[in-house]
Amino acid sequence: MAYFDSASSAPLHPVARQALVASLDEGWADPARLYREGRRARLLLDAAREAAAEAVGCRADELVFTSSGTRAVHSGIAGVLAGRRRVGRHLIVSAVEHSSVLHAAQVHEADGGTVTQVAVGRTGSVSASSYAEALREDTALACLQSANHEVGTEQPVAEVAEVCRAAGVPLLVDAAQSLGWGRVNGDWSVLTASAHKWGGPSGVGLLAVRKGVRFAAQGPADERESGRAAGFENIPAIVAAAASLRAVRAEADAEAVRLRELTERIRARVPSLVPDVEVVGDPERRLPGVVTFSCLYVDGETLLHELDREGFSVSSGSSCTSSTLTPSHVLRAMGVLSEGNVRVSLPPGAPAEDVERFLSVLPGAVAAVREKLGAPAPATVVREDVLVVDALGKRCPIPVIELAKVIGDVPVGGTVRVLSDDEAARLDIPAWCEMRNQEYVGEEPAERGAAYVVRRLS
């Protein structure tokens, strides 16, 4: 089985396993105690903190360990917002942040705060000027991921940090996807990360808060981890996390070159092997091992099952997966296809032979899904140069399939109105028009769902 989903969780690094086992016998005691076992545990914890701080690029007393990356994000956002409440309650996030950031923003908004979402382009990247425009006198905090978790696009953190610093606004960087590859550039104020993303054990997060940033920890007071992460420290897991971070950093430069070559091979060959495919994300400013593409006329969940049967573990940001019935917020913000979306994220050490085998089985897997899915005969009503396709009650990609089948039945300049009550159609039909050089006129109200109007240009 080829595991191609390291962006979700990387396999445990051998160094992490060794450190975890070794520290189980030494790091079980309470590091706050003064007896021998406690002092031994404290030495392990302090050494892990020093190693992690060096990898992050901060002081050891600026970094605490949390129970997860999500907890680090929630604590970081809540703490800065509370500490800077006198300045205001305005929060800035990008439209493609991880759900942990967006959920924290929703809680802040429900509590009376205000939130501005900064838009991204079709590659998934923000611009520093967009953050500059979003800044206000009452802005308490801005958030930006270092690299996107679904499409791999790297964000201009240094440029955004400079803009925020000039305005006196702290910038929180979610570095979960990139920290294993190197330090985050720029004058950031708060940084979060998660150990299982770089091959450490799950259940360990990092929260770094620079000196001088106003921060008020929320929740009941706890003396551990500078009061910013309540609960007894999982010292063996923390030691393993720090050890694996140091290990993957030592291998990062050489492995990045190798994985970039493999992902570039996928980016270049998939469109020639599979018809009607859109490769998404920035072609250059992206994580070394991540490549994402969307296949027209394919159900994402079915394609993942087909690839799983062929021996490949991949993930999807498609609208049609078991975890969600709505399009991925990342793909929606980018304005790209959500249907048939596949994210390949290669773990360090992924063999080139596995990539070649993936490329050999992908065309057959996509063809099999398209054949299984079929396309029900569209119910059409012709009215002069307007054709109506009734796709109500049918989930994407069926509305797009039916649109593609009938677009040639209207003259150039004529329109097709696709009736659909699937939320994914709002994203997929405009994206299909972009791919096929047809004009997306817009959305009109209908008795059920909406009517998506497309004008034939060729």
Q: How far apart are CA 40 and CA 26, in angstroms?
A: 7
Query: DSSP secondary-structure letter at 74?
Result: H
Q: At what angle do helices 99-110 and 69-83 cross, to 10 degrees?
A: 40
Number of other residues whose CB lies within 10 A of the CB of residue 434:
15
CA 53 to centroid of chain Cα atoms: 24
- List of residues 6+ apart from 3 with CB closer than 8 A: 11, 313, 347
Query: DSSP secondary-structure letter at 34?
Result: -
Q: Which two tokens stand for residue 265?
A: 């091979």
Q: How far apart are CA 279 and CA 295, in angstroms?
A: 9
Q: What is the DSSP secondary-structure string of 380-444? A: EEEETTEEEEE-TT--TTHHHHHHHHHGGGS-TT-EEEEEE--TTHHHHHHHHHHHHT-EEEEEE
Q: Which of 143, 164, 295, 320 is catalytic?
A: 320
Q: Which residue has the tokens 């791919």?
A: 435
Q: Is 320 a catalytic residue?
A: yes
Q: At what angle do helices 235-273 and 14-24 cross, to 10 degrees?
A: 160
Check: CB of residue 370 under 8 Å from CB of residue 360. Answer: no
What phi and psi values does residue 60 have, to the nearest 5 degrees?
A: -60, -35
CA 338 to centroid of chain Cα atoms: 14
Question: For residue 161, what is the enclosing H or E element?
Answer: helix 157-166
Q: Is 2 helix (H, G, I), strand (E, B) or coil?
A: strand
Which residues are tagged catalytic?
Answer: 320
